[in-house]
Amino acid sequence: MDSVGKQLRGWDAATFRTASGDATMRSTVVAMAILESAPNWERLRARIERLTLFVPELRMRPLHPLVGFSSPRLSIDPDFDLDFHVRRYRLPEGGGWKDLLADARRLSLGDFDYSRPLWEASLVEGLPDGHSAFMLKLHHSIADGAATVKIALTLFELASETNSDEPVPPSAPVGADVSWQELLVANSIDNVARAAGGAKGLLGTALRLARTSLTDPALAFEKTVETIGSITRAATVYDAPLSPLLTGRGTTYTFGTLEFPFDQIRQAAKSHDLSVNDAFMAAVMTGMQAYHERHGASAESLRVNVPISLRGDAGDRSGQAANAVAIARFPMHVANQSTVELMHQAHDLVAKWRREPAMRLADPLAEVSWFVPVPMLASVARASDITTSNVPGPPIPIYLAGSRMIAVYPLVATIGAAVNVTMVTYDGKAFIGVSTDDRAIGDHADLMHDLRAGFHAATLTGDTL
């Protein structure tokens, strides 16, 4: 592999830049797997090393540009040391869930060593009932939620015994030092290609419109107006959250978790001919509505961030451990809305944004962000009230180094929003991770109570038919 590696592009590059430039935009994902017992340590270490061979991004360090608007590059670390990234420890005697979440919070809030690959892993032993926890921390620029699941499926196994038919991993890549001259040349070449690629994408859109104009001028004009309007909507700058309550933003956040039978959520959605994501978003917004009422605050609408997966689209990068998403940001009306009404509203809004032409231009639009100062980008992100994300996981039990995983919680940084709620489904259950900005949410336990009630309300909607 070329020692200068590959340049981060689009959303990946924009995420890296904002996370590096503003502490409120810290961009970490902690996947926390709860294991039935303590796995064999040597076998676990071997599984992690094997994972880094199948996912070379986990052996890549960022190379920072010298000048200009170049994205950082990911290049094989010539000093890659697995033991730097992997650690093992026990909770103090009598430690429990609260202590584990506190450790996960500290892990997430700690910054990466940007001279090394952007991940860490911890095995935590000494949980009640003989359980253990495996925590994998990733920088969001190298893996979105779906990519994290793919990483997990490479790391985990389908049985407690090792499968002898597993693919043989490739040889370990060899890194090399990169001179500033090599870095400058590589970035110059890639910057030209990046600009050309962005221009090609926009030109392709323009050519399609031009061809349409020859056969149907009226339709071409309509599509041109639609595309321009879509880009305008996607790039709209907001100056403040919609909630009168969730106004504070800081550099720390607190984690919480919820768990529900997945079939209850799925049946509630199915009873209204809607998707699991519709029921999930409605449950979250019902909880947020209750939290505002608890504080005597009125919010007509809340601004929601929803990742829109582009996996399966032509030209996506789904074979890589990288992001393949665009972020839809839109207001969702919550005042005087029933949970069922919120379900239908979520369905209509997400479907509308999936059709937006700007979603397919997400990477070229993200490239433009290099000309926008980081503080301005961060202020735009802080104008969002809540981020929701729903990630399907494996429907059957999986194992790590001989120990069965009994739960998995996605713990994601708030990344500018007041609240982040992410759901992963696994083996018949829905596991929900909640992160709340400590300045925006001063009573984390009350919010968790209201979100739990919101999910109960959503699961009961199927009984109304």
- Helix axis angle for 276-294 and 262-270, nearest 10°, is 100
- Helix axis angle for 10-21 and 374-381, nearest 10°, is 100
Q: Judge contact between 438 and 250, C-beta under 8 A.
A: yes
Residue 425's SS3 state is strand
Of 263 and 12, more confident: 263
Between CA 25 and CA 29 the distance in angstroms is: 12
pLDDT band at 1 (very low <50, low <70, confident <90, very high): very low
| pLDDT > 50? residue 328 | yes
Of 68 and 57, more confident: 57
Residue 185 pLDDT:
82
Name all domains of the chain by residue range, CATH numbers in brackets: 253-360+368-392+420-464 (3.30.559.30)
Of 263-277, 314-328, 432-446, which range is least confident?
314-328
Report DSSP letters for 82-129, one per residue: HHHHEEEEEPPTT--HHHHHHHHHHHHHSPP-TTS-SEEEEEEE--GG
Residue 315 pLDDT:
43
Q: Is 403 left (phi over 0), alpha (psi -120 to 50) or beta?
A: beta
Tell me the average pLDDT of the chain: 85
Pairing of the two strands 60-63 and 73-76? antiparallel
Pairing of the two strands 386-392 and 301-309? parallel
pLDDT in tens, 367-409: 666 666 777 778 888 999 999 999 999 999 999 999 999 999 9
pLDDT in tens, 205-240: 555 555 556 565 655 445 555 555 555 555 566 778
Residue 318 pLDDT:
40
pLDDT band at 165 (very low <50, low <70, confident <90, very high): confident
pLDDT in tens, 263-299: 999 999 999 999 999 999 999 999 999 999 999 998 9
pLDDT band at 464 (very low <50, low <70, confident <90, very high): very low
Residue 125 pLDDT:
97
The percentage of residues in the chain with a pLDDT greater than 70, rounded to a whole number, is 81
Please compute the mean of the pLDDT values over residues 49-66 and round it to a whole number. 90
Of 316 and 280, more confident: 280
Residue 319 pLDDT:
43
pLDDT in tens, 42-55: 999 999 999 999 99
Of 90-99, 156-165, 409-418, which range is least confident?
156-165
Please compute the mean of the pLDDT values over residues 417-440 and round it to a whole number. 97
| pLDDT > 90? residue 322 | no
| pLDDT > 90? residue 172 | yes
Please compute the mean of the pLDDT values over residues 130-156 and round it to a whole number. 83
Residue 220 pLDDT:
47
Residue 141 pLDDT:
78
Residue 117 pLDDT:
95
Of 167 and 67, more confident: 167
Q: Where are the alpha helices (DSSP H) in 216-303?
A: 217-234, 262-270, 276-294
Model confidence, pTM: 0.86
| pLDDT > 90? residue 306 | yes
Among 133-137, 140-144, 164-168, name the most confident range. 133-137
Residue 205 pLDDT:
56
Distant-in-sequence, close-in-space partners of 24: CB < 8 Å, separation ≥ 6:
249, 250, 251, 378, 381, 382, 416
pLDDT band at 343 (very low <50, low <70, confident <90, very high): very high
If you search the block for the tokens 């529900």, which residue do you land on?
Answer: 260
Residue 19 pLDDT:
85
The percentage of residues in the chain with a pLDDT greater than 90, rounded to a whole number, is 58
